[in-house]
């Protein structure tokens, strides 16, 4: 890491801790000296290497790996280190602001801090990042305000639930695995990789602290689960032990004991109900070898912490018979299982199939393993292994899976009533979830996406909400006392001094206890060692006795452990139990030891006496063994183990062999053409063939059917053409003869080609000689059957193309075999020549590789086996016999004097060959050993003959050597030429392979397009069928609703008629009242009429909503019972009004009785009218509902019908809009204009020839039209002249007529007529003036608005013009430079002399183009002038028309 200074110096920090300074001008490197403090502190940190450096005025700020920021105060060539700032994590990056008042700091986990310099420097945290993805989550009881998260590195965070803000953090500095919050207190338990459980107090949410640590075992903690009431904490480890811990902090989290289960624990589930005093526990584990799952259930009483000593043994293991432990197995594997609150039902999530099953537990007790059968099975509609959770009241079953969907199900029906996709399946879905006690808050943790999702209900109410809220209130009430007690204890408990960064110890009591145990064990071991040394000192001569004593000691005594190392709880319990056993059986142990010592002395004496005896009388060492039966038993056990291992190995080999046979049958034996490759001899080129399976009988039958159908269709098409053309008989006969001849010619040929061109056929299959005549055109594949037949034919074409190429490949393979054989044959002679010439050349011998002969991989060679071969005894004996016979034969051969003489004299041969001339040596005469001076004449002649023979032999050798070298070169050249020729052939075959693969891909692409169209067609058909069925059902529903509406209207009409009748009767009774009492005086009649109209007051009935809230199962309003009760109450009140006390004075009682009867009849009639009106209103409401339902059904029918029409149109459009494959030529095409069309959705594909023919016809017709237009042009000129003269004369005539008319008629304007005809002309003028003023005001307003817009636009254009001016100025500068360059180039060209011909041509073309453009502009101007003149003429002509004014 480095940083620059204002003086261009560079400071560099090294990994070794040195600080370098590099001068930017001289590049001189200076190592700065570190000034150590005189009295360093004990806790001084050793700064190793800086992570990042930033420069400041006094020196350099550097960050270390220990989370501190240091200040390097640099003076001259030395520096001093001071602590500047402390950060909780290692700092990874630092940078200053431009004004050097703010320092930005980033840690290694992503947190960002800002340090502000000043009189009072401040450090603020800008961004707080979590240390990795969340490993576990849980709600802090009761789950309505806070929740906790745990990362793998041991970071624990407390979050505020409302805004998901981090409240506080605590770091364990150890690898953590699981987290769980206690329901009965504000505490949490965290499991770690080293087997410890940390208990965190969250009584103060802003400062959580570790209050206790329990070191259970050395295996990692995988599961931490509290029961529903927070009584016990269940901890599952990787070695298959489940520890039960008292969850109360007041008991210092006492470890009650443990029980052993299967190793691979998947989930722990508990059931702790308020009305019971037991906690049921279920542990799910997997049996991967058997493909099953195991369930282990046991029961824990709530009083277990008080009587834990009776439930567990001395080693802390809970007794199975006391906790009622039962084993269950399932026939299929589960990924998760929970225990229902009914205690007799288990819910499981299958790991291999997408099902959720429920199982019923047996009511009677059992021993051993009980196999559970599924009671109910429901499809989960979630893929991947999932997990199950139960809500706090046990009526919701929550499922999560790899797909990322969370489903909430009813525990009885297992049906989903709420779901949410919280995570993506690409991030492997959901890892875990937690639900609060009241069920309103849900936390979902992703597996690999690093996200935590907080879910809330959109609508939370009704029966579902009431159940869980009621249980939540009951649970809080039952836990309130325990929570208050435990929380008070947590608030007063001091923080435990636990070193979170190292292996911490237990509490002080446990440390003392472990130290005492270790000391006692150490003392006992020392005593035992002293005893053994005393016994061994007496018998040093007997090594066997010493070894035996040490062995006995190692079996009985404890192993001394390091006192400083922390001991797990389970190991402590084991040591305590061993200590008790040692103290209990110490006397017996001493007696047994003494007996063993005396017995060993006796045996030693016997062995000494045995050594002194003769060999005949000596006993073997084994006979002194005391327990021969034990030795025999051990030998038998070893033999059984060996036999078992042999059987296991044989079964393993058998399974591998079976698997190998399956693979061989699938990938090798079933292939009609085995996959192999061919390699070139000299170039790195490999050609592979097409592995092919034999076509099945069904495929061949289907192909034969399609071929036969295509032939029939072709014949039918021919017959149709013949019928339509209606040719004559002679032509038909000739045509038939021609067809017969063509058929005979086609029988001789084996290949037919399609009439379609390759670019429209969509592939190059015809290049391989494949028949494509039966293929349908891609533009004619409309029906489903045609597409299926086309796919079958395309598959057949692919098969034929591969077959053609494989045949060529087989020919090349045979050619390579022939070439290799020929090279081998020539190499034999080459080796002989090299041997004769004594050359050190390697002979090149090509061989087939494994990819060229893949069948060799199926055979194991002896040299491939690296293990030592096991040779049976009889094989060894046979080899010894063979070796002995071979040695005997060699001895016989050495004894043969004849053969030895032949070898010495003639080299082992009777005739000297020509090839042996190079090895021939002429022996020297014997006299050559003497000096030359003593030779005789005869000897000198012999010496001359010897030299002559040697010279001749050397000449023969040279000739023969040259002939051999020429032959060797010829052979090597022939091998080189033949192999290179094969390589060239293989290169061409490789190109053929590429082309065949291209054709195969083209055909497969067509098959894929057709298959996709078939799938789309099937989907459209199924959608259409569904809509038809839905439409039929809705039409039937429409008929039912129409019938119901008709009946309702009839009933309403009848009811309305009855209501009208009753209302009429009521009015009649009201009108006839005075007539009935006409005999009495009038004032009494008025009083009676008032009493007649008077009605009793009745207490008003409650409304429907009030009644429903009070009595949910009461009578509905308007029911018969309520009406009868109201009528009876009314009659009862009428009885009070009919009392004689209410009778007016002076009225006859008989009249009063008649009046009461009349009034009662009137009240009864009114009550009937009210009842009938209520019935009428209810029937009208019912009818309105039925009409609305009918309208809804009708709208639904119309919608479905419209959708069906659109679907049918889409289906027709899909059948007509085909996807075809076209071959395009590869190359580049230069276009004149670049306005290319990129959207071809409305384009139509037609043949190219049609366009070309149409263009030729258009050109011909265009030329004809131009000629006719030129002819008619002259005629039109003469006609126009005549018409002009005619129009001139007519216009003169019209002018004369107009003048005459003006003289005859006086002009009288309409304004004058209006002035005379209008009576109030001034008012009319004022109205018009007001309208015009309003119009002017509106126009003025619009004008101002337009002026403002124009100003804004002018301002924008001004800015734009300024930008353009700047751009133009830059362009003008560039143009000036370009003009200078052009002038220079022009001078260079003028200096060169001649101009190029192309420049002249270009200049001439440019001048012609400019002239043509000028002429075009002139013609346009003239045309515009002509049009203006014609308009003016027409205007003048219209002006001369007379104005006929009505008088």
For the chain, percent of residues with pLDDT exceeding 90: 22
Q: How many CB atoms lie within 10 A of CB 1044?
A: 17
Output the six-digit token pair for 387. Answer: 């997990």
Q: What angle do CA 45, 51, 53 make, to 5 degrees?
A: 105
Query: Distance between CA 1102 and CA 1117 in Å, rounded?
Result: 9
Helix (H) or strand (E) holding 1291: helix 1248-1304
For the chain, percent of residues with pLDDT exceeding 70: 82
The closest alpha carbon to 272, from 394, 142, 140, belongs to 394
DSSP codes joined into one string, 734-768:
HHHHHHHHHHHHHHH-S----SS-HHHHTS-GGGG
The closest alpha carbon to 918, from 967, 969, 970, 964, belongs to 964
Q: Could you identify the residue written with the tokens 């400083």?
A: 564
Backbone angles phi, psi at 149, to 5 degrees: -130, 155
Residues 6+ apart with CB under 8 A from 1149: 1140, 1143
User: Does 189 score more than 90 pLDDT?
Assistant: yes
Residues 6+ apart with CB under 8 A from 382: 354, 399, 401, 402, 403, 405, 407
Backbone angles phi, psi at 1237, to 5 degrees: -90, 120
Output the six-digit token pair for 315. Answer: 């080693």
Pairing of strands 165-171, 176-181: unpaired
Query: Distance between CA 255 and CA 570 in Å, rounded?
Result: 10
Q: How confident is the model at residue 1124 (pLDDT cuts 50, 70, 90)?
A: low
User: Does 285 score more than 90 pLDDT?
Assistant: yes
DSSP codes joined into one string, 797-810:
HHHHHHHHHHHHHH
- Is the CB of residue 566 less than 8 Å from the CB of residue 506? yes
For the chain, what is the largest distance between any 2 Cα atoms, rounded to a whole number of angstroms? 209
Query: Distance between CA 1317 and CA 554 in Å, rounded?
Result: 144
pLDDT at position 1306 is: 61
Long-range contacts from 816-819, C-beta under 8 angstroms, 24+ separation? 816/678, 816/848, 816/852, 816/982, 819/681, 819/846, 819/978, 819/979, 819/982
pTM of structure? 0.47
Helices then strands, counting H and E runs in the chain, come out as 24, 44
- Is the CB of residue 62 less than 8 Å from the CB of residue 92? no
| pLDDT tens-place string over residues 550-567 | 334 333 333 333 445 688
- Is the CB of residue 829 less than 8 Å from the CB of residue 838? no
| pLDDT tens-place string over residues 485-531 | 888 888 887 766 554 443 333 333 333 333 343 444 444 434 444 44
- Is the CB of residue 209 less than 8 Å from the CB of residue 218? no
Residue bearing the bigger pLDDT, 1173 or 519: 1173
Q: Could you identify the residue written with the tokens 């989903």?
A: 416
Average pLDDT value for residue range 1019-1032: 91
Pairing of strands 292-301, 78-86: unpaired
Q: What angle do CA 592, 598, 600 make, to 5 degrees?
A: 100
Query: Distance between CA 293 and CA 346 in Å, rounded?
Result: 13
pLDDT at position 947 is: 84
Helix (H) or strand (E) holding 113: strand 112-116
In sign, the C-alpha dihedral spanning 953, 955, 960, 965 is positive
DSSP codes joined into one string, 631-648:
HHHHHHHHHHHHHHHHHH
pLDDT at position 726 is: 63
Among the residue ranges 708-717, 831-840, 1187-1196, the one predicted with the least confidence is 831-840
pLDDT at position 614 is: 79
Q: How many CA atoms lie within 13 A of 177 on its CB side?
A: 18
CA distances from 1125 to 119, 1101, 1109 (A): 89, 11, 21
User: Does 1365 score more than 60 pLDDT?
Assistant: yes
The closest alpha carbon to 176, from 131, 229, 221, belongs to 221
Residue bearing the bigger pLDDT, 1108 or 997: 997
Burial label, 756 (beta-carbon count in 10 A; 0-12, 13-18, 19+) = middle
pLDDT at position 868 is: 74
- Is the CB of residue 856 less than 8 Å from the CB of residue 850? yes
Average pLDDT value for residue range 935-952: 83
Long-range contacts from 289-294, C-beta under 8 angstroms, 24+ separation? 291/332, 291/333, 292/329, 292/330, 292/331, 292/332, 292/333, 293/266, 293/329, 293/330, 293/332, 293/333, 293/334, 293/337, 293/348, 294/262, 294/327, 294/328, 294/329, 294/330, 294/369
pLDDT at position 562 is: 40
- Is the CB of residue 262 less than 8 Å from the CB of residue 285? yes
- Is the CB of residue 156 less than 8 Å from the CB of residue 179? yes
- Is the CB of residue 103 less than 8 Å from the CB of residue 91? no
Terminal alpha carbon distance of the chain:
109
The closest alpha carbon to 1085, from 1162, 1166, 1154, belongs to 1154
Burial label, 621 (beta-carbon count in 10 A; 0-12, 13-18, 19+) = exposed
pLDDT at position 838 is: 78
Among the residue ranges 41-45, 474-478, 564-568, the one predicted with the least confidence is 41-45
Burial label, 443 (beta-carbon count in 10 A; 0-12, 13-18, 19+) = buried
Backbone angles phi, psi at 210, to 5 degrees: -80, 120
pLDDT at position 550 is: 39
- Is the CB of residue 311 less than 8 Å from the CB of residue 243? no
Rg (CA), the chain: 57
CA distances from 1054 to 447, 1045, 1058, 1169 (A): 69, 14, 6, 14
Running DSSP on this structure, what letter comes out for residue 152?
A: T
Partners of 434 in the β-ladder: 443
3-state secondary structure of 558: coil
| pLDDT tens-place string over residues 576-625 | 888 888 888 888 888 888 888 888 888 888 888 888 887 777 777 777 77
User: Does 536 score more than 50 pLDDT?
Assistant: no
Q: What angle do CA 528, 534, 535 make, to 5 degrees?
A: 90
Q: How confident is the model at residue 985 (pLDDT cuts 50, 70, 90)?
A: very high
The closest alpha carbon to 761, from 1221, 269, 110, belongs to 1221
Query: Distance between CA 217 and CA 245 in Å, rounded?
Result: 14
Output the six-digit token pair for 177. Answer: 């695995």
Burial pattern 1121-1137, b for ≥16 Cβ within 10 A else e, equals: eebeeebeebeebbeee
3-state secondary structure of 419: strand
Running DSSP on this structure, what letter comes out for residue 1444?
A: -
3-state secondary structure of 703: helix
User: Does 1111 score more than 80 pLDDT?
Assistant: no
pLDDT at position 901 is: 58
- Is the CB of residue 1183 less than 8 Å from the CB of residue 1045? yes
Mean pLDDT of the chain: 80
């Amino acid at each position: 890491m480095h940083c620059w200074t204002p003086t261009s110096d560079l400071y560099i920090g090294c990994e070794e801790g040195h600080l370098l300074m590099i001068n930017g001008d001289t590049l001189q490197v200076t190592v700065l000296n570190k000034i150590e403090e005189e009295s360093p502190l004990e806790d001084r940190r050793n700064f190793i290497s800086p992570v990042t450096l930033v420069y400041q005025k006094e020196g350099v700020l550097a960050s270390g790996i220990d989370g501190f920021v240091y200040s390097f105060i640099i003076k001259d060539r030395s520096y001093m280190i001071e602590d500047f700032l402390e950060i909780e994590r290692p700092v990874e990056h630092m940078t200053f602001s431009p004004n050097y008042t703010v320092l930005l700091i980033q840690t290694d986990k992503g947190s960002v801090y800002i340090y502000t310099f000043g009189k009072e420097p401040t450090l603020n945290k800008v961004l707080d990042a979590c240390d990795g993805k969340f490993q576990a989550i849980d709600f802090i009881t009761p789950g309505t305000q806070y929740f906790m998260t745990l990362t793998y590195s041991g970071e624990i965070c407390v979050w505020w639930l409302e805004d998901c803000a981090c409240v506080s953090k605590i770091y364990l500095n150890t690898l953590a695995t699981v987290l769980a919050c206690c329901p009965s207190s504000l505490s949490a338990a965290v499991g770690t990789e080293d087997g410890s459980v940390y208990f965190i107090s969250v009584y103060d949410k802003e400062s959580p602290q570790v209050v206790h640590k329990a070191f259970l075992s050395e295996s990692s903690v995988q599961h931490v689960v509290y029961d529903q009431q927070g009584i016990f904490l269940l901890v599952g480890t990787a070695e298959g032990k489940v520890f039960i811990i008292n969850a109360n902090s007041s008991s210092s989290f006492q470890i009650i004991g443990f029980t052993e289960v299967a190793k691979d624990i998947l989930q722990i589930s508990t059931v702790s109900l308020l009305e019971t005093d037991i906690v049921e526990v279920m542990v799910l584990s997997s049996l991967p070898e058997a493909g099953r799952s195991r369930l282990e259930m046991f029961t824990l009483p709530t009083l277990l912490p008080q009587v834990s000593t009776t439930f567990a043994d001395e080693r802390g293991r809970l007794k199975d018979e006391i906790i009622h432990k039962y084993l269950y197995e399932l026939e299929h594997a589960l990924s998760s299982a929970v225990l229902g609150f009914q205690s007799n039902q288990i819910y499981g999530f299958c790991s291999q199939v997408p099902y959720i099953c429920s199982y019923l537990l047996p009511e009677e007790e059992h021993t051993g393993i009980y196999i559970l059968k599924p009671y109910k099975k429901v499809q989960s509609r979630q893929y991947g292994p999932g997990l199950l959770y139960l809500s706090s009241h046990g009526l919701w079953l929550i499922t999560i899976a790899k797909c990322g969907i969370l489903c909430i199900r009813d525990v009885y029906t297992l049906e989903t009533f709420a779901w949410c996709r919280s995570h993506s399946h690409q991030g492997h879905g959901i890892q875990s979830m937690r639900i609060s006690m009241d069920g309103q808050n849900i936390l979902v943790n992703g597996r690999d996406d690093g996200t935590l999702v907080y879910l809330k209900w959109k609508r939370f109410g009704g029966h579902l909400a009431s159940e869980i809220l009621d249980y939540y209130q009951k649970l809080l009430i039952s836990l309130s006392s325990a929570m208050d007690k435990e929380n008070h204890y947590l608030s007063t408990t001091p923080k435990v001094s636990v070193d979170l960064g190292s292996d911490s110890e237990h509490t002080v009591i446990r440390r003392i206890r472990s130290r005492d145990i270790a000391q006692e064990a150490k003392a006992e071991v020392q005593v035992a060692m002293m005893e053994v040394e005393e016994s061994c000192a007496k018998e040093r001569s007997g090594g066997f006795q010493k070894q035996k004593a040490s062995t006995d000691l190692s079996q009985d005594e404890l192993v001394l452990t390091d006192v400083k190392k922390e001991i797990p709880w389970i190991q402590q319990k084991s040591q305590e139990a061993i200590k008790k056993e040692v103290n209990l059986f110490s006397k017996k142990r001493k007696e047994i030891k003494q007996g063993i010592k005396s017995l060993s002395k006796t045996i030693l004496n016997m062995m000494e006496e045995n050594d002194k005896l003769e060999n005949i009388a000596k006993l073997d060492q084994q006979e002194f063994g005391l327990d021969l039966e034990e030795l025999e038993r051990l030998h038998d056990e070893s033999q059984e183990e060996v036999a078992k291992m042999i059987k296991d190995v044989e079964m393993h080999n058998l399974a591998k062999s079976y698997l190998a046979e399956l693979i061989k049958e699938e990938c090798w034996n079933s292939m009609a053409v085995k996959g192999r490759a061919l390699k070139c001899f000299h170039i790195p080129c490999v050609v592979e063939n097409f592995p092919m399976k034999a076509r099945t009988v069904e495929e061949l039958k289907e192909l034969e059917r399609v071929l036969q159908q295509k032939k029939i269709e072709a014949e039918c098409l021919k017959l149709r053409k013949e019928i339509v053309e209606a040719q004559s008989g002679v032509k038909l006969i000739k045509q038939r003869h021609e067809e017969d001849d063509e058929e005979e010619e086609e029988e001789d040929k084996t290949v037919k080609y399609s009439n379609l061109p390759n670019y429209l056929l969509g592939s190059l299959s015809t290049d391989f000689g494949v028949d494509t005549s039966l293929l349908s055109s891609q533009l004619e594949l409309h029906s489903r059957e045609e597409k299926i037949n086309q796919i079958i034919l395309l598959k057949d074409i692919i098969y034929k193309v591969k077959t053609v190429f494989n045949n060529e490949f087989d020919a090349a393979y045979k050619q390579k075999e022939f070439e290799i054989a020929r090279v081998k044959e020539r190499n034999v002679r080459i080796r002989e020549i090299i041997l004769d010439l004594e050359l050190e050349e390697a002979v090149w011998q090509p061989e087939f590789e494994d990819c060229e002969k893949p069948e060799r991989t199926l055979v194991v060679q002896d040299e491939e086996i690296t293990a030592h071969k096991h040779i049976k005894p009889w094989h060894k004996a046979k080899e010894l016999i063979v070796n002995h016979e071979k040695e005997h034969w060699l001895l016989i051969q050495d004894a043969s004097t004849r053969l030895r003489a032949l070898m010495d004299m003639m080299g082992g041969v009777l005739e000297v060959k020509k090839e042996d001339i190079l090895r021939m040596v002429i022996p020297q005469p014997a006299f050559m050993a003497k000096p030359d001076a003593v030779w005789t004449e005869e000897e000198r002649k012999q010496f001359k003959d010897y030299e002559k023979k040697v010279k001749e032999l050397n000449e023969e050798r040279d000739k023969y050597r040259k002939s051999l070298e020429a032959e060797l070169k010829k052979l090597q050249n022939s091998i080189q030429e033949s192999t290179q020729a094969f390589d060239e052939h293989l290169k061409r075959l490789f190109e053929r392979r590429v082309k065949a693969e291209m054709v195969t891909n083209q055909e497969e692409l067509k098959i894929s397009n057709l298959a996709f169209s078939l799938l789309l067609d099937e989907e459209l058909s199924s959608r259409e069928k569904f809509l038809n069925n839905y439409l039929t059902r809705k039409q039937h529903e429409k008929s039912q609703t129409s019938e119901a509406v008709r009946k309702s209207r009839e009933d309403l009409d009848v009811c309305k008629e009855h209501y009208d009748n009753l209302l009429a009767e009521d009015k009649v009774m009201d009108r006839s009242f005075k007539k009935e009492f006409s005999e009495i005086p009038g004032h009494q009649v008025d009083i009676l009429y008032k009493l007649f109209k008077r009605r009793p007051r009745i207490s008003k009935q409650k409304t429907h909503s009030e009644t429903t809230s009070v009595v949910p199962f009461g009578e509905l309003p308007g029911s018969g019972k309520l009406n009868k009760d109201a009528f009876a109450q009314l009659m009862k009140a009428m009885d009070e009004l009919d009392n004689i006390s209410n009778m007016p004075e002076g009225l006859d009682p008989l009249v009063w009785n008649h009046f009461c009867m009349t009034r009662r009849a009137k009240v009864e009639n009114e009550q009937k009218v009210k009842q009938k009106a209520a019935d009428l209103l209810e029937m009208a409401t019912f009818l309105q509902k039925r009409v609305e339902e009918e309208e809804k059904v009708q709208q639904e029918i119309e919608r479905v019908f419209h959708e069906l029409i659109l679907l049918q149109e889409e289906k027709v459009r899909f059948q007509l809009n085909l996807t075809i494959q076209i071959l395009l030529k590869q190359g580049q095409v230069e276009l004149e204009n670049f306005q290319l069309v990129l959207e071809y959705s409305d384009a139509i594909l037609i043949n190219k020839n049609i366009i070309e023919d149409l263009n030729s016809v258009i050109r011909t017709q265009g030329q004809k039209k131009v000629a006719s237009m030129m002819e008619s042009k002259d005629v039109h000129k003469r006609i126009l002249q005549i018409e002009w003269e005619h129009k001139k004369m007519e216009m003169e005539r019209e002018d004369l007529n107009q003048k005459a008319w003006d003289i005859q008629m006086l002009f009288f304007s309409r304004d004058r007529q209006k002035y005379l005809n209008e009576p109030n002309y001034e008012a009319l003028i004022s109205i018009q003036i007001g309208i015009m003023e309003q119009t002017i005001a509106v126009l003025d307003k619009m004008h101002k608005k337009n002026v403002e817009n124009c100003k804004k636009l002018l301002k924008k254009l001004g800015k734009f013009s300024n930008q353009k001016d700047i751009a133009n100025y830059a362009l003008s500068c560039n143009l000036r430079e370009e003009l200078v360059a052009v002038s220079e180039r022009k001078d260079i060209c003028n200096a060169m002399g001649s101009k190029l011909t192309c420049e002249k041509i270009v200049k001439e073309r440019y001048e012609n183009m400019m002239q043509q453009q000028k002429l075009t502009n002139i013609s346009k101007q003239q045309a515009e002038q002509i049009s203006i003149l014609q308009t003016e003429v027409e205007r003048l002509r219209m002006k001369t028309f007379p104005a006929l004014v009505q008088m």
